[in-house]
Amino acid sequence: MSSFLGPDRRRWFIVFIIFTITVFSYVDRQVVSILKPILKEEFSLDDNGYALIINVFTICYALMYPVSGWLVDKFGARKIMFWGVITWSFSSIGSGLVSSLFPFAFFRSVLGLAEPTTYPAQIKVITKWFSGKLRATANSISVAGGTVGSVIAPPLIASIVLTFSWHAAFIIPGIVGLFVAMIWLLFYREPPKGYVTDTVGACTNEEAGPAFTWGQLWGRKSLWGIILIRFITDPVWYFILFWLPGFLMEESGLSLSQLGMVGWIPFLAASLGGIASSAWSDSMVRKGKPALRSRKLMLSYVAFLAPVILIPDSLGVAVTIIKFSVLAAVALSWIYTESVLIAETFPINNVASVLGIAGGFGAAGAVIFNYFIGQYMASVGTGWIFMVMAVLHPLTVFLLWKMIRPEIPDSEIKETEQKRIAR
């Protein structure tokens, strides 16, 4: 087994485990949007009440994301990933065991507190195990599990509900998550010393190597650039996750079984688009372009596909699905590669913290967006929502080029200068 799981094979097996974890994390969070009409009837909710359920999860998610990043940098990806998966799996099971709104909202809040552990741990692992020539591809594959979870969620959840009940749609994925957590604990290991050397402050010891303190991070221009980018653009992906399935049923007239047949298409397109765009940026790196510039170029080109969302829905449900497929691919290309930008901009012992901070602000942007959707969608329609989503990614291209740059701690600059003088 140790021979089979040498470093070059083990790292891809680790990617597969993370992929599986993100599959079930997204199934767990996607259940609510798929069951929107059922839950609205079960708990006597309108769109404003549904937005409240979403925001219970999202507010906790936003608050815990920065804390999760700090925990990963402090205690390591292996431990935090394990306890995060265990906790959100139990919260999903709890959501299925209740029959009234208050305990349901409580378990959704616990889910929001636990799930942010996944992505800071994931990017820390990818940064340690993969060089810049493969980092974006490995990152996109590992987190593509999220969109694969969104792809399989509509037919899976529809099948479970039609066979059993809506309660089972929460319980069954939660049980599977418990098994996946044990596999992670059993197989994850740190890479051999010196396995990857092209990261800022590359080091295999969690407590060694140059890094910014938590307070110093807030003074870095790149951190604020990443925060603004996530705050502005993440609401697009959250809309697709939490509102698109209900939109297809309530506005496009699909039944639950019909949603199960076609509701997965935008999420599959998102996953394929995110992986393809990441591989494209990696190919630019292999051809000699600087890694950071390659990521920026790819994101800039992709951003200007977002206005496709303005194509009228009156052309039919097929056109609606196609335009959301393109927008979903844009959104995930940015989310996947923003993590890689962090890995190539900050020291390795800061990447989880930075991703946690940025992810928290991204979720905060989604909370605000969700609130206004819940308040005004019924009265003003979806046209204004689509107009806003059409311009968010193009607007952030300026921030991408103006604010994101390598951030090197003073201690490492001094050490490099001393080595140069010594030569």
Q: 326-342: per-residue pLDDT in tens?
A: 999 999 899 888 888 88
Could you tell me the pLDDT band of residue 178, with boundaries at 50, 70 and 90?
Answer: very high
Could you tell me which residue, 146 or 302, shows the higher pLDDT?
302
Could you tell me which residue, 46 or 189, shows the higher pLDDT?
189
Contact 86, 184 (CB under 8 A): no
Q: How many residues does the chain have?
A: 423
Q: How many CB atoms lie within 10 A of CB 179?
A: 12
The pLDDT assigned to 179 comes to: 92
According to DSSP, residue 345 is labeled: T
Work out the percent of the chain whose per-residue pLDDT is above 90: 20
44: left (phi over 0), alpha (psi -120 to 50) or beta: left
Least confident of 46-55, 71-80, 185-194: 46-55
Please choose, from the candidates 401, 241, 418, 236, the residue with its C-alpha nearest in 3D space to the C-alpha of residue 331: 236
Question: How does pLDDT run across 272-293, given as a tens digit for each residue?
Answer: 888 888 889 888 988 888 888 9
Q: How many CB atoms lie within 10 A of CB 258?
A: 16
The C-alpha atoms of residue 391 and residue 41 are separated, in whole angstroms, by 35
Which stretches of 280-333 are assigned E, i.e. beta strand?
none
Could you tell me which residue, 28 or 170, shows the higher pLDDT?
170
SS3 state of residue 201: coil
Residue 36 reports pLDDT greater than 50: yes
Average pLDDT, the chain: 82
Residue 411 reports pLDDT greater than 70: no
SS3 state of residue 287: coil
SS3 state of residue 366: helix
Could you tell me the pLDDT band of residue 187, with boundaries at 50, 70 and 90?
Answer: confident
134: phi then psi, degrees, rounded to nearest 5: -130, 0
Contact 322, 405 (CB under 8 A): no
99: phi then psi, degrees, rounded to nearest 5: -135, 10
The pLDDT assigned to 205 comes to: 42
The C-alpha atoms of residue 267 and residue 242 are separated, in whole angstroms, by 12
Could you tell me the pLDDT band of residue 158, with boundaries at 50, 70 and 90?
Answer: confident
Q: How many CB atoms lie within 10 A of CB 314?
A: 7
First to last CA, the chain: 45
User: Can you read off the two tokens belonging to residue 296?
Assistant: 């920026």
268, with CB counted inside 10 A (0-12, 13-18, 19+), is: middle
SS3 state of residue 5: coil
The pLDDT assigned to 134 comes to: 76
Please choose, from the candidates 333, 12, 13, the residue with its C-alpha nearest in 3D space to the C-alpha of residue 144: 333
Residue 413 reports pLDDT greater than 70: no
Provide mean pLDDT across the span 172-183. Answer: 91
The pLDDT assigned to 376 comes to: 65
